[in-house]
A and B are shown apart, each in its own frame.
Chain A
Amino acid sequence: MTTNPAELAAQPYSGEKARLSRHFDYLILVLAFFLYIGSFHLNVALTVGDWDFWLDWKDRQWWPLITPLMMITFPAAVQSLLWERFRLPMGATLCMCCLLIGSWITRVFAYHYWNYFPINMVLPATMLPSALVLDVILMLTNSMTFTAIFGSAAFALLFYPSNWPMFGMFHVPVEYGGAQLTIADLFGFQYIRAGMPEYLRIIERGTLRTYGQYATPLASFFSALLCTLMYTLWWHLGKWFATVRYLKKI
């Protein structure tokens, strides 16, 4: 029999207690799944949604800047809970899987089957590769600071290359009505959106466009900088929300 208190404390449950503990884990998994679909999807849809909903919003200037910036929010907050309290290196990947599942269900049933937008026009972008790298960097470094600097930068920089195989084909130029467009632009003009006049489409503004092929890397590196700050902010927000305080009155 051990007399070391540390060893005593580390004894895993067995028998009924172990089964109870495992069943509680399953309940939490279901709870977390729907919680993060509902809340993270709402957060993304109402901050960067337009760039994610529509093919013709996926430009070289705003899309690679804003998407990682708003999609690193919940992953950072959930990492702070799951890694610091439970040593689970899966906060970002969990969030991103939930977001993708929620987005795909909506794009198929709310856009395609209800209102007949082509599914290619409303494909969601993915940040799953970025989330995996973010989780791995946190697991290997066990450091919020390193993850904020290197993980967040990787999170933003990986966004465009991981989505290019899906969306590159829609950036092919075509001549239409005497003007040069992309296939993505053509989708936007062919499938009329009552709530989206053309002036509302926030793409490729200002003089950044004159930088030609450098516009996208510039946007990505700027996003990497902002993600570093956003990650740190949301890590602390996640810790603050996961408080264990009790109040006397409200």
Chain B
Amino acid sequence: MAVTTLEKLDGTTNAGNLPWYLKDLYKYLGGFAVITVIYVGLRLYQGAYAVATGLDSTLPEYDAYWMRLFYGELITLMSFTAGLWSYLWFTRDRNPAALTPKAELRRHFALTMWISIYTFAVYWAGSYFAEQDNSWHQVVIRDTPFTANHIVVFYFSFPFYIMMGGSAWLYARTRLPTFAQGISLPLTLAVFGPFMILVSVGFNEWGHTFWFREEFFAAPIHWGFVIGGWFALAVGGILLQEVARMTELLDKLEDAS
């Protein structure tokens, strides 16, 4: 069914029996499902092939099972990032000031869902696969920066959450009046700080050319990752900005039972 301009401005169209402000709930849950399938799939792949083919990067099977995965990840991520960010930019709202309170409230819910999916991607990168790297380094002596776990954590998980964080930033900037009028400092910190974790991979791998034999997780060459992670605390500031604006918008709504 085509959405009329009035409905778009009012923000009252909904899917099924969901309240109008939860119109994007199924997309949100779908996002969680897709990310879960991707990461569980990658972990199963590692379980199936890492010990059999991932111990020596000079072997032909290493190219077949791991470097092809790496190139596939790069192509997929670059394509999706270009597509998603272009979509968000070219479908931007040219006049967000004309939004009704209901439409703007619905978009605040959508932004919170974007950030939530971003944090789910941060979980897989910063928690599961990051610590799994320590486990893998106790099995294999590194002979490449593209180990069977680095290919998942550094070159897929990190760029993936950057894609989701950048999408949240773009969504806010192009669709919500408060975030369009000024650049939210906490939103920017929460996206660009963890982006620096990817950049720290360079420092980490450079450091490990000296200490290729050792995996001491608390070593200073890892602290670039740590500092990037601190910026996730800025999400609290985004929520404060959203709550303040949503309170104003709720005051403009008529009471309904």
Contact = CB atoms under 8 A, between A and B. Distances in A.
B131 A39 contact: no
Contact of B21 (A20, A42, A74): A20
Interface string A98-142: 000011011001110111010000000000000000000000000
In this complex, the interface size class of chain B, counting residues with CB under 8 Å from chain A, is: 35 or more
Task: Tell me the dominant secondary structure on chain A's binding face.
Answer: helix
Contact of B185 (A31, A53, A117, A247): A247
A23 interface: yes
Interface in B150-183: 178, 181-183
Given A38-B232, A194-B141, A241-B233, A246 B184 contact: yes
A30 B250 contact: no
A248 B184 CA distance: 9
Highest count of chain A CB atoms <10 Å: which of B134, B140, B213, B240: B134
Task: Tell me the dominant secondary structure on chain B's binding face.
Answer: helix
A184 interface: no
Interface stretch (A9-17, A152-160, A168-176, A216-224): A9-17
A30 B132 contact: no
B226 A42 contact: yes
In this complex, the interface size class of chain A, counting residues with CB under 8 Å from chain B, is: 35 or more
Contacts of B198: none
Contact of A53 (B19, B134, B253, B255): B134
23 contacts: A16-B256, A19-B19, A20-B19, A23-B22, A24-B246, A38-B229, A38-B232, A42-B127, A42-B225, A47-B218, A50-B217, A81-B236, A105-B128, A106-B131, A194-B140, A238-B233, A241-B231, A242-B234, A242-B240, A246-B178, A246-B182, A246-B183, A249-B183
B47 interface: yes
B185 A194 contact: no
A51 B250 CA distance: 49
Given A15-B255, A16-B256, A39-B229, A110 B217 contact: no
